[in-house]
Structures are given as structure tokens and as C-alpha cells.
Amino acid sequence: MRQQHITQRSLASEIGLSFQLLNAKLHGRANYTSRDLVRIADFFDVSVDFLLGRSDYAKPLEVA
């Protein structure tokens, strides 16, 4: 969010969550659903694995 200068309010609006719920999720007071993760990954154009720290690559590598 910092790199792309996105506020919590604008991200919440874009992915269909209330600001309060997104804030709770970001601060560990509520759990993410798989749907949340997919929407966030789509918004930032990265893979869910990248969001979860399971990959150093924002996009999956293409195999020729």
C-alpha cells in the first residue's frame, strides 16, 4: 500500500470491505478470507503467494 500510495479507505472501497473491517484484518483483529486475498492480489496485480510471503516474485514465472 505504501509503495503505491493507497490508503486503507481506498483499498477497502475497491475490494468491497468496510474501512473498519479492513483495518481489523490489517491489525490482526479479524481473519482474511480467501476471497479477500484474491481481491487484494487482483487489485495490486500480484499473486496470492506473493501477498502471503510464499514467493519473492509478484507474478508467477511463465514457462515456455
pLDDT band for position 63 (cuts 50, 70, 90): low
Q: Is the pLDDT of residue 61 over 80?
A: no
Least confident residue range of 1-5, 8-12, 32-36, 45-49:
1-5
* Calpha distance 21→12 (Å, rounded): 8
- Where does 1-64 have alpha helices with state H? 8-15, 19-26, 34-44, 48-51
Instruction: Return the CATH fold of 1-64.
Output: 434 Repressor (Amino-terminal Domain) (1.10.260)
Residue linked to cell 477497502: 12
What phi-psi label fits residue 24: left (phi over 0), alpha (psi between -120 and 50 degrees) or beta? alpha
